[in-house]
Amino acid sequence: MVNLPTLILPPRFTPDSIAIARAAQTAGWAVERLSSWRVPEWLKGQEEIVLYGEPLFAAVVAQELDVTLLEPPFDWLPRLLPDYRRRHVRLCTLHEARQLREPMFVKPADDKCFLAGVFNDGARLPNEDVLPAALPVLIAEPVRWEVEFRCFLLERQVLTVSPYFRDGALVQSNEGDWQDARTIEASTFAQKVASDPAVELPPAVVVDVGIIENRGWAVIEANAAWGSGIYGCDPVAVLRVVRRACLHADKVSPADRKWIVQRVAAEQGI
């Protein structure tokens, strides 16, 4: 008899977590939605656990369950080939970003501890009494995105794609549909990036792509599959990607180890 994974979800119900849960149940998986961030003892020691939820939740629960989470490193986008990025991006600390005196797009590299956006002056960023000076942030040249797509990739293959923003607004219709005529173009571009051996990618990852006004198709960013919203993507395909991104600690290969990001929050048990 084949042992199927157990999917662990956070306490908060969201449309994404509900869709993922249904896909897992249909596949015959066990699904457990925790009532808190504390893991019940009976869940520990299971052969295969798959996590889906916000980064801090996943990091804390993964530590308790000996689950290793794979994801792109914070400097993945700055190191991406310029032809795929089509704008200047760099990784720095919050302290460095606060010294900026020209408009720049700034976002936290890890989790959503402040709202990303264009800051006209670095002094408008959260001060260091609120967030640590060493907090990693990404700074990018401000551009206008005409449309943005989410792509879930497994072993460098695009499995499912959905538009999510168009002209700065959610694409979702009143009927709940996520549609854009350029979805095939988005999938083709994402696959081109993923197929390039010069581009390093985790075995399971989310890559967002879009069209920059007057510049064309570009990569927006890459994110952990286990912590990304699915928008209109196929939940069954998403579940396959998420599963590959969650490994028991004793099943991590040498090739997988480069995609492990250490988080202070997880280490401190916050």
pTM for the model stands at: 0.94
Percent of the residues in the chain that have a pLDDT greater than 90, as a whole number: 87
Alpha helices in the chain (DSSP H): 15-26, 55-65, 76-79, 82-85, 94-97, 183-195, 235-244, 264-268
Q: Which residues of the chain have pLDDT under 70?
A: 1-2, 263-270
Residues forming beta bridges with residue 149, ordered by sequence position: 163, 209
- Model confidence pLDDT, tens digit, residues 87-124: 999 999 999 999 999 999 999 998 778 999 999 999 99
Residue 8 half-sphere exposure toward CB, CA atoms < 13 A: 26
Number of neighbours of residue 64 by Cβ within 10 angstroms: 17
Secondary element (H or E) of residue 140: strand 136-140
200-233 tens-digit pLDDT: 999 999 999 999 999 999 999 999 999 999 999 9
Question: In this structure, are residues 240 and 171 in contact, taking their beta carbons and an 8 Å threshold?
Answer: no
177, HSE (Cβ side, Cα atoms, 13 Å): 5
SS3 category, 112: coil
**Among 249, 203, 199, CA closest to 224:** 203
Q: What pLDDT is attached to residue 45?
A: 85
Please check whether residue 163 is in contact with residue 147, taking contact to mean a CB–CB distance below 8 angstroms.
yes
246-248 and 169-170: which strand pairing?
Answer: unpaired
